[in-house]
Amino acid sequence: MLNRRELFRRTAVLAAAAALPPRLQAAGGGELTLEAAPTQIRLADDGGPPLPVWGYNGISPGPVLRFEVGETARIRVRNRLDRPTTVHWHGLRVPNAMDGVPGLTQDPIPPGGEFLYTFALRDPGTFWYHPHFQSAEQLDRGLAGAIVVADRDEPAVDRDLLWVLDDWRLDAQGEVHESFGNLHDASHAGRLGNLPTINGRLAAPLTVRPGERIRLRLLNVANARVFALDFAGHAPAVIALDGHAVTPHAPAGGRVVLGPAMRVDLILDCTGEPGSTHAVSDRAYPRRPFELTTLVYAGTPLRAMPPPLPVLSAPALPVPDLARAVHHELVLEGGAMGALREALLDGERLGIRELARRGKVWALNGVVAPGHHLEPWLHAAVDSTHVITVDNRTAFPHPIHLHGHPVKVLARNESASPFRQWRDTVLVWPRERVRLAFVADNPGLWMIHCHIPEHQEAGMMGVVQVG
Ligand code: C2O
Ligand code: CU
């Protein structure tokens, strides 16, 4: 059987471009079906035996769901797994009953069962879907897919590409490693994999034309891996974060950073010389850089100079009333090399040893979440503005995600955030304090949690009650 090293070696000689997952588009507002079930994928055309994973409609990542802003989605989710599941529409402002959180907004969909999700697409951009039941395992086994909501008019580009970034943890036999639910992953960086893929494939070189303008939608569906992509010899411009338009800008330090669950839309102008090749590499972990893919220039130039950068339409989100905002602190504590000594679990004050024995090692404001069903941490009147200062007192970065409400990133360590950033997931680095604002305009019970599911399930989640 082909092992991972062998797979890596073989990718070097593959010539086909990374395959795009197929699209699923409902004709005239009709119903879509997503069936969650075990399936198999091929990491490469000659990449050895197929890899058993879990997918939607037989593929992983699942089909790209395409909509236009203002449309109503009707998505029937069928569960053909041997355990319950749900689907969460990550980043979309859906009604609370459609949010897919078991024990909080719906009952889990039992094996053999189904659930019809319906919601309006309120915002254009790049979003995604994934289970919210036993997420650490279900997400890691391959249940995830992209959602692209087109605006009424989109900027002209030569190609609109999507890279679903993931990393798999494979064992020596080249199968998904069964080490789910272990305390080491939970108390450290989460389940880091050993095999990065683009759209479920070992990335093959991408052929581009000189002068071509590509809109590249990046989505990180990995449980734990942070990507920091370096497009050597190119000057990509960030035009949207987590779906929402930002002032177009060069990424800081030339690296496009995506924590788990995050999206970045780029304009990539192919300014390389005809016949040249350029590595796209990851530099998130300085001691372990790797080449993700290569841009290969072929064909006659499309244009000599890149056209001016497009500006997407500004996000149509409620504007925080900062003068009247209610302020909150969200202190992240715990994990390996952390200072957490004790915390509350189900109303009981427990020492870190006892907590760890129960698989719980992270706390928000001194409270360890036993599951999704929690006493709300924050109560918000409808349409009130809230400012949350997230204070990371741990040794690890955490992608903090709020359901149902995009947040405006106001400041990091007291320096104001540029580019008008609206996000649904904010990467908070160790010892960083990040100030966020949102308008609580969507009634219901909403999760706020770390999007490394190993951390989430080990206590790092809370609930915000609106209305
Ligand atoms: Cu992408 Cu609570 O999830
Ligand atoms: Cu975390």
Q: 219-269 pLDDT, tens per residue?
A: 999 999 999 999 999 999 999 999 999 999 999 999 999 999 999 999 999
Residue type, 392: N
Element spanning 32, H or E: strand 32-41
CA 132 – ligand 1 centroid, Å:
7
What span, in angstroms and rounded, lies between the C-alpha atoms of 382 and 2? 56
What span, in angstroms and rounded, lies between the C-alpha atoms of 429 and 239? 23
Residue type, 308: P
1's CB contacts (< 8 A; 6+ apart) are 48, 49, 173, 174
How many of the other CB atoms lie within 10 Å of CB of 431?
A: 11
Domains with residue ranges and CATH for the chain: 4-152 (2.60.40.420), 160-297 (2.60.40.420), 322-466 (2.60.40.420)
This prediction's pTM: 0.94
What span, in angstroms and rounded, lies between the C-alpha atoms of 449 and 371? 11
CA 284 – ligand 1 centroid, Å:
22
Nearest in space to 143 (alpha carbons), one of 187, 69, 90 = 90
CA 423 – ligand 1 centroid, Å:
13
The one-character DSSP state at 29 is: G
Task: Identify the nearest ligand to the CA of 90 by its number.
Answer: 1
Is residue 398 within 8 Å of 427, Cβ to Cβ?
yes
**Which atom in ligand 1 lies closest to the alpha carbon of residue 101?**
2
Alpha helices (H) in 173-219, listed in sequence order: 183-187
Task: Identify the nearest ligand to the CA of 454 by its number.
Answer: 2
Ramachandran angles phi, psi of 20, nearest 5°: -85, 140
pLDDT score recorded for residue 1: 36
CA 368 – ligand 2 centroid, Å:
13
**Which atom in ligand 1 lies closest to the alpha carbon of residue 456?**
2
Strands (E), 181-225: 195-198, 206-208, 213-220
**Which atom in ligand 1 lies closest to the alpha carbon of residue 447?**
2
Nearest in space to 359 (alpha carbons), one of 181, 98, 157, 172 = 181
Nearest in space to 120 (alpha carbons), one of 71, 87, 77, 75 = 71
pLDDT lower than 70: segments of the chain = 1-29, 47
CA 186 – ligand 2 centroid, Å:
9
What span, in angstroms and rounded, lies between the C-alpha atoms of 380 and 358? 32
pLDDT score recorded for residue 188: 97
35's CB contacts (< 8 A; 6+ apart) are 56, 57, 58, 77, 78, 80
Task: Identify the nearest ligand to the CA of 185 by its number.
Answer: 2
CA 207 – ligand 2 centroid, Å:
36
Is residue 406 within 8 Å of 442, Cβ to Cβ?
no
Is residue 326 within 8 Å of 424, Cβ to Cβ?
no
CA 234 – ligand 1 centroid, Å:
32
Alpha helices (H) in 153-274, listed in sequence order: 183-187
β-partners of residue 334 are 362
Write the pLDDT tens digit of every residue in 203-216: 889 999 999 999 99
Element spanning 136, H or E: helix 135-140
Residues with CB under 6 A from ligand 1: 88, 90, 130, 132, 261, 401, 403, 447, 449, 451
**Which atom in ligand 1 lies closest to the alpha carbon of residue 449?**
2
Task: Beginning with the edge strand found earlier in the chain, give each strand of the sheet holding 32-41 in spatial order.
Answer: 51-56, 32-41, 72-79, 114-120
What span, in angstroms and rounded, lies between the C-alpha atoms of 223 and 398? 11
| Atom 3 of ligand 1: nearest residue by CA position | 90
Task: Identify the nearest ligand to the CA of 456 by its number.
Answer: 2
CA 404 – ligand 1 centroid, Å:
10
| Atom 1 of ligand 1: nearest residue by CA position | 90
Element spanning 230, H or E: strand 227-231
**Which atom in ligand 1 lies closest to the alpha carbon of residue 128?**
1
**Which atom in ligand 1 lies closest to the alpha carbon of residue 461?**
2
Task: Identify the nearest ligand to the CA of 102 by its number.
Answer: 1
CA 432 – ligand 2 centroid, Å:
13
**Which atom in ligand 1 lies closest to the alpha carbon of residue 425?**
1
CA 73 – ligand 2 centroid, Å:
31
Task: Identify the nearest ligand to the CA of 263 by its number.
Answer: 1
What span, in angstroms and rounded, lies between the C-alpha atoms of 371 and 407? 24
Nearest in space to 204 (alpha carbons), one of 124, 76, 300, 296 = 296
pLDDT score recorded for residue 311: 87
**Which atom in ligand 1 lies closest to the alpha carbon of residue 90?**
1
End-to-end Cα distance, the chain: 56
CA atoms within 13 A on the CB side of 207: 10
